[in-house]
Amino acid sequence: MVGLHFLPFAWAFHERLFVHLGGAVTALGAAGLVAGALGVRHAAETSAVAAGLVMLVLAARP
């Protein structure tokens, strides 16, 4: 699943950012998967863009 690979980074680098990032991106990926399975057009593209925006916002936080 998309985003789960960030969770081991949180443990390895003792950085809470990766927990938030991994959780958010995983949730968005799962939501896009479910929406796509239900027939929502462009669900994958929309969730991918949302995940990118979440990554930008979390990375830009002080």
pLDDT 10s digits, 20-54: 999 999 999 999 999 999 999 999 999 999 999 99
Asked if residue 1 is part of any domain, the answer here is no
Closest CA to 23 of 53, 62, 51: 51
Q: Which domain holds residue 49?
A: 6-60
Residue 8 exposed, middle or buried by CB count within 10 Å (0-12, 13-18, 19+): exposed
Domain membership of residue 26 (yes or no) is yes
Q: What is the pLDDT of residue 12?
A: 95
Per the model's pLDDT, the better-predicted residue between 1 and 42 turns out to be 42
Name the domain count of the chain.
Answer: 1
What pLDDT does residue 61 have? Answer: 84
| pLDDT for the residue 30 | 93
Condensed to tens digits (0 to 9), the pLDDT of residues 15-26 reads 999 999 999 999
pTM, full prediction: 0.85
